[in-house]
Structure 1
């Protein structure tokens, strides 16, 4: 997972997969009840919460949960957003509900972790909105999964 044993991955800092499962289960309970974004998720697959949990856990350093266990890829996750025509208001609601849920479950709140956590969510949700306006998936199926740590800023000129 982490070559430098002195610096934990974001996944290790959070604790374990159970924390991610709790976060996303409670989060999607809120999402489904939300007037603005609930309709986007009312027909989500039974695996949706698990896939998002595994995807973000993997991005944060948990190992190959989404790409291995779920047989997913970055391209497949991007593909889930194609043609959804997401709005900035919907993106912000998604973000606000997730951060609210993180606070409610007592997710680590130190400024360094929260900066990295929110940084990834901002980056990822903005990419989701951009891709949701497209009709075809621009991502190569062999593109690597994104990784996120304690301070990466991804530029539009860099692939994750």
Structure 2
């Protein structure tokens, strides 16, 4: 009998892997003419740290964003009024994928499907919430993302 699969967070390599990945991502963002203005040209160390904490919680790690950083409501607040375009959203997801390669995150298709599945879902929600005219859900828990339909492949030992 096979044990339950690890969380996506643990499969990735925990917080150090998310720091490596999102650090590389924000380096790419700072050099990107389309996305850099959304972040004021530079992405602060605090922003990077907080987003790592968010992603770790979402992917099954400690609930530190909820406990210390204001949970969903705080993340929502950061996106309100940004007017994110469809082109910016797509570039955001594309750079996340490129950064995952650059940071040598696990390359198995199940992991990447889970990671990028959340990136697609979350970026579409952020784009919606960034529209000043859009109705938003003001209170919700931080999402907890899992493997979906394809848990990690682990050959029987």
TM-score calculated relative to the size of structure 2: 0.86
CA–CA distance in structure 1, aligned partners of residues 37 and 85 of structure 2: 13
CA–CA distance in structure 1, aligned partners of residues 84 and 55 of structure 2: 20
Aligned CA-pair RMSD: 2.0
What are the ranges of 5 or more consecutive residues in structure 2 without an aligned counterpart? Answer: 150-157
Partner of 1:118: 116
Identify if the C-alpha distance between structure 1 residues 149 and 137 changes in structure 2 by more than 3 Å, giving closer, same or farther. same
Figure out how many residues of one structure are paired with residues of the other and give that number: 147
Q: Partner of 1:96: helix, strand, or coil? A: helix
CA–CA distance in structure 2, aligned partners of residues 67 and 46 of structure 1: 19
CA–CA distance in structure 2, aligned partners of residues 95 and 136 of structure 1: 22
Identify if the C-alpha distance between structure 1 residues 75 and 137 changes in structure 2 by more than 3 Å, giving closer, same or farther. farther
Q: Retained in 2: the 8 A contact 1:82–1:137?
A: no
Partner of 1:85: 83
- How big is the shift at 1:6? 2.3
Partner of 2:98: 100
Q: Retained in 1: the 8 A contact 2:10–2:61?
A: yes
- How big is the shift at 1:27? 1.0
Mapping 1:1-150, distance limit 5 Å: 6-42=4-40, 44-68=43-67, 70-134=68-132, 138-141=136-139, 143-150=140-147
Q: Partner of 1:25: helix, strand, or coil? A: helix
TM-score calculated relative to the size of structure 1: 0.84
What are the ranges of 5 or more consecutive residues in structure 1 without an aligned counterpart? Answer: 153-160
